[in-house]
A = this chain, B = another copy of it.
């Protein structure tokens, strides 16, 4: 009952344990007849190899680590979905490591290393370029294959799967510009990190090209805090368009604008990033950049499996396509 070992199988099948092991790992090396006999016994006894013992002996755990800073974010769970599906296809298990604010990233990563994982997926869009470098070093030093998922790094030696956030930022700003908006704000986060830096870069580029002044307003990611911040806007600022770096920021901004009697999209166009459920449940529906989060998870996991099997990987930096979903919060011609 759950504790059948390879010895039991060997005994019952009248072979050595080495043969049983081969049937499991290199079936082609075992004579058809023997193999069938062993397989039959395995089934009868309901034998499942102890993955721990296997891990120790083979030095492979068929387990990958997922490092996350904030499990709570909507995008994370979808990414986990993509990762999980592909991991299951390739028979990998998934172990979760969450980084809490009060913890040292290096320390966690050392734990991750001690876990004898075959590879690691690092999901965290709130990483600065400098932190990325530290992370890279730890994995390289320990020779652990890794992939950054939905994190941007300019270092060409860093394997990553992402969308082109700069381009996305540029495009959504162009939508506003083409609609003749002049005072276009980017609502970004107070804390700087690489992904949002890219969005800001794209936004700024589009604004400058159009001869407009870029206006980045930094706010908290917390919807409650935002209410206060945003309230000031409609007293003293000229504004006819706003782009939130997250849907939740965009929606709460839009709600507050409407509370202040501003018409969306007539007087104010609003757009977000990520195309989450929030975008669909808001009124008016929110125009948003669709980020294929599930795919980012799935593709990173697939890239990681390649890296783990050290196949010659042609492209370790994958940029997935995004697109703009236009809805009622912007004026669409």
Binding site for B on A (CB under 8 A): 1-2, 46, 48-53, 55-56, 61, 63, 66, 71-74, 76-78, 80-81, 84-85, 88, 93-98, 100, 110-111, 113-116, 141-143, 223, 248, 251-252, 255, 258, 277-278, 280-283
Q: How far is the CA of A48 from the CA of B48 in the complex (A)?
A: 29
On chain B, the residues within 8 Å of A100 by CB distance are 85, 88
Residue of B nearest to A76 (CB): B77
List residues of chain B with CB within 8 A of the CB of A53: 56
CB distance from A94 to the nearest CB of B (A): 5
Q: In the assembled complex, which residues on chain B have CB atoms less than 8 Å from the CB atom of A95? A: 63, 93-96
CB <8 Å contact, B223 and A277: yes
14 of the cross-chain contacts (CB-CB < 8 Å) are A1-B142, A2-B113, A2-B143, A48-B113, A51-B115, A52-B116, A71-B77, A71-B78, A74-B74, A84-B96, A88-B100, A93-B95, A95-B95, A281-B281
Residues of B within 8 A of A251 (CB): 281
Seed contacts A1-B141, A84-B98, A223-B280; 17 additional CB < 8 Å A-B pairs:
A2-B113, A2-B141, A46-B110, A51-B115, A51-B116, A53-B56, A71-B80, A80-B96, A81-B98, A93-B96, A94-B95, A96-B96, A251-B281, A255-B283, A278-B278, A281-B281, A281-B282
B66, B76, B277: the one contacting A278 at CB < 8 Å is: B277
8 A-B pairs with least C-beta separation: A48-B114, A77-B77, A2-B142, A84-B98, A52-B55, A94-B96, A71-B80, A71-B81
User: How many Å from the CB of A22 to the closest CB on chain B?
Assistant: 19
Contact, CB under 8 Å: A73 / B77: yes
Cβ contact within 8 Å between B110 and A281: no
Shortest CB distance A65–B (Å): 9
Q: When chains A and B are docked, how far (Å) is the Cα of A229 from the Cα of B57?
A: 57
Contact A281 B248 (CB under 8 A): yes
Cβ of A281 and Cβ of B280 under 8 Å apart?
Answer: no
CA distance A142 to B46 in the complex (A): 13
Cα-based distance from A278 to B74 in the complex (angstroms): 12
Contacts of A255 in B (CB 8 A): 281, 283
- Return chain B residues, CB-CB under 8 Å to A282: 281-283
The reply to whether B71 and A84 form a contact with Cβ atoms under 8 Å apart is yes
Residues of B within 8 A of A141 (CB): 1-2
Chain B residue numbers with a CB within 8 Å of A94 are 95-96
Bound-state Cα–Cα, A141 to B142, Å: 40
